[in-house]
Amino acid sequence: MAEYIRNQYQEEYLPDMVIPVPLHKRRLRERGFNQAQELARICASTLAIPLNSQHCRRNKHTEHQLGLSAMERHRNLKRAFSSQEFEPGTTVALVDDVMTTGTTLHELSTCLKKAGCEQVHLWCIARAHHL
């Protein structure tokens, strides 16, 4: 993933920091790890970009998105995230494992932009088709 990203950014500057999609503490306890965090850690290290896992958080424990319609996903994630303020001009790469409808990444991107982030780049390992 990191090598693919490096190739995609040949003519562009890489983002200022890498942020994994956060899990709620209850989901993290259930799962034992955050898969987005693991991907983000490797990408940040390989690309020599700071990893920031503390900048934003998931405040609301939500039900699993699997099996929910696009409207239900949106409702499920409404106000689920919060973020610290960003320095003006900050560009971040938001890392997730799988994107299905894009609702999680959209909600979190909106949160980051409201906190002052200038640009949000979305990095995912897979794109699932929502059936």
67 lies in which domain range?
2-127
**pLDDT tens string 25-48:** 888 788 889 999 999 999 999 999
Question: What is the domain-level CATH number for residue 48?
Answer: 3.40.50.2020
- pLDDT, tens digit, 9 for 90 and up, residues 7-20: 999 888 999 999 99
Q: How many domains does the chain have?
A: 1
pLDDT score, position 80: 76
Residue-level pLDDT at 89? 94
More confident site: 131 or 85 = 85
Residue 102: per-residue pLDDT: 80
Residues whose CB is less than 8 angstroms from the CB of residue 78 and which lie 6 or more positions away in sequence, other chains included: 107
pTM: 0.85
How far apart CA 73 and CA 112 sit, in angstroms, is 19
Res 117 pLDDT > 70: yes
Predicted confidence at residue 21, as pLDDT, reads 93
Q: What are the DSSP E strand ranges found in the chain?
A: 17-20, 56-58, 81-83, 91-99, 119-127
Per-position DSSP letters for 48-66, written without gaps between them:
T--B-SSSEEE-S-----T
Residue 114: what pLDDT? 94
List, for residues 50-103, the tens digit of each pLDDT value.
999 988 988 877 666 566 666 666 676 777 788 999 999 999 999 998 887 788
In angstroms, rounded to a whole number, what is the distance separating the alpha carbons of residues 73 and 80? 11
